[in-house]
Structure 1
Amino acid sequence: MQIRISWPSGHLTASLGDTPTASALAAALPLSATAHTWGEEVYFDTGVSVGLEPDARQVVEPGTVAFWTEGDALALPYGPTPISRGGESRLASPCNLLGSLDGDPRLLATVRDGDPIRVERA
């Protein structure tokens, strides 16, 4: 499944795998939220509540589409966060892996804290 993530200064598409969390997110689309930034990560509430999946990880590649179960939020890292070691993308805690962004994840650097963000099927 493909989704489109839009904010005032840009948009990206993402390809999601066939996971329980991706299915739960798909059922909630389209959704609108307020973006938050944390280092080089954008995250926002989805209104979806799911449990941690067995392959959840805390350190991921930039451009990973992750789901932070503790905050019911999509987490989109594009570089280091305040708790990263070196240049890694370290999320606040282990997150479910949904898929990856298509294109350059550094476009997320144009998202400002408080920006409206929309997620819909692509």
Structure 2
Amino acid sequence: MQIRISWPAGHVTATLDETPTSRALAGALPIVSTARTWGEEVYFETPASPALEADAQQVVDPGTVAFWTEGDALALPYGPTPISRGDECRLASPCNVLGRIDGDPRALATVRSGDPIRVELVSA
């Protein structure tokens, strides 16, 4: 499954794996939310509210599409966060891993806190 994430200065697409959380997110799309930034991570609330999965991770690769269950939010890290050790992408707490940004995740650096952000399914 592929999604498109758009904001005023740009967009990225992401490929999601088949997981309970990705299915819950797909069922809520399209959504429009307000972007927040935390170090080199963009996150925003969604109407989906999945449970934490057994393989949730706190340290992920740049460009990982993660779901922060504590905030019902998508988390899109592209570099270090305020709690990272070195150059790692350390999320606020363990998150469900949904997939990866296609291409360079540093495109997310143009997202500003407060930007409207839209997520929609890409037609097959």
- How does 1:38-117 map onto structure 2 within 5 Å? 38-117=38-117
Instruction: Look up the match of 1:9.
Output: 9
Residues 16-31 of structure 1 mapped to structure 2, 5 A cutoff: 16-31=16-31
Tell me the number of residue pairs that the alignment of Structure 1 and Structure 2 aligns.
122
* 3-state SS in 1 of match to 2:21: helix
* TM-score normalized by the length of structure 2: 0.98
> Which residue in the other structure is 1:118 paired with?
118
C-alpha displacement of 1:59: 0.1
Equivalent-residue separation in structure 1 for 2:50 and 2:24 (angstroms): 8
Give the whole-Å Cα distance in 1 for the aligned partners of 2:25 and 2:61.
21
- Report Cα offsets for 1:17-71 as digits up to 9, x if no partner: 0000000000000000000000000000001111100110000000000000000
Aligned partners of 2:47 and 2:37: how far apart in 1?
Answer: 18
Task: Spell out structure 1 runs of 4+ moving beyond 2 A.
Answer: none
State, as a whole percentage, how many aligned pairs show the same letter. Answer: 76
Gaps of 5+ in 2: none
Rounded Cα–Cα distance in structure 1 between residues aligned with 2:47 and 2:83: 26
- Superposed CA RMSD: 0.3
Inter-partner Cα distance in structure 2 for 1:52 and 1:120 = 23
- SS class of match (1:114): coil
Q: Which amino acid aligns with 2:90?
A: R
Match of 1:33 in 2: 33
SS at match of 2:71: coil
Question: 3-state DSSP class of the match of 2:14?
Answer: strand
Where 1:53 maps in the other structure, the secondary structure is coil
